[in-house]
Structure 1
Amino acid sequence: MSRIHVTTKVNGDETEFLCDAEATLLDVLRDELGLTGTKEGCGTGDCGACSVTVDGRLVCSCLMLGAEAEGCEITTIEGMAAGEVLHPLQKKFIEMAALQCGICTPGILVAAKSLLERNPDPSEEEVRYWLAGNLCRCTGYDKIIRAVMETAADMRRAS
């Protein structure tokens, strides 16, 4: 089977990889590039654990082929922090204990960041709607929603 050569940008770095034609972006991120922060929950795009942004658009990486990443800019959970400095959402999730087992957390954080980039002042209803594609078995979502809302408020005050 032939492998496909892909040139892309991942978390700000120019990246090249070879992948099988049927390999998902999730498979490539985890197995080829060693970016294991992106999790596989369902493999069908229903849980959001594998959420990343591709050219600024939130996508389930289990539903996108790795070859489709050609020329794209991809941001994963590993790209949220600025070096050793956590993103405000990551800090707030820790501070407010808005996580438990950690399988869903990377996807929720990537989705929440995507929301706040589009709308820095979301209502609770908008946060709930935006994160509806991210399933969590461990929490009741309350701490997650509150952490996103508080981060949005903190970021607005800081700007």
Structure 2
Amino acid sequence: MQNQPLPKQIDARKLCATTANIRAQASVSTLPRFAAGLASDRGEVTVDIRLYREEQGFYRIDGKAVASVDVFCQRCLQLMPVEIVAEFALAIVWTEEQAKALPKSLDPVILGEELLELDELLQDELIISTPFVNYHDKRECAADAPVDYPAPEGAGSEEKGESPFSVLGSLKPRD
């Protein structure tokens, strides 16, 4: 199956009833909420989604999204490329009660009679799968070894053995 542009909206229930596969690509720049947490809006997202009705009667959306994006290394604050992989198993439900009754292995998508905003769903899944912090491998990181800052003048002049808190003794009232 060939990659196509990511549809903005889909009739998820109809596609589940007939079983459908969507293989699409999207530019990160077309996913603004996801791009807001990255170093830039450059990059591509490849999406593989299967919509079907399973034997238990659940309308399912199973998918995988792979995004090649730039983030900031938290050590050196330089750009670094990462691959974010979001895998999801969702069930379409109509009410909160139905959502609570789903097996723990499925996350709910509460959908009334409206179309499913596929780009919004995809952004949610990518945001959840994005690591909170990112680091280059130590060999590749531009950050130097920890900086050893000099002590302020006069610091460290106390004699060994004398507590730095000994001055507090002079503040205590004497009986």
TM-score normalised over the length of structure 1: 0.23
Choose between structure 1 and 2 for higher RCO, CA contacts under 8 A separated by at least 6 residues. Answer: 1
- In our comparison, the structure showing a higher alpha carbon Rg is 2
Which is richer in helix? 1
TM-score by length of 2: 0.21
Which structure has greater strand proportion?
2
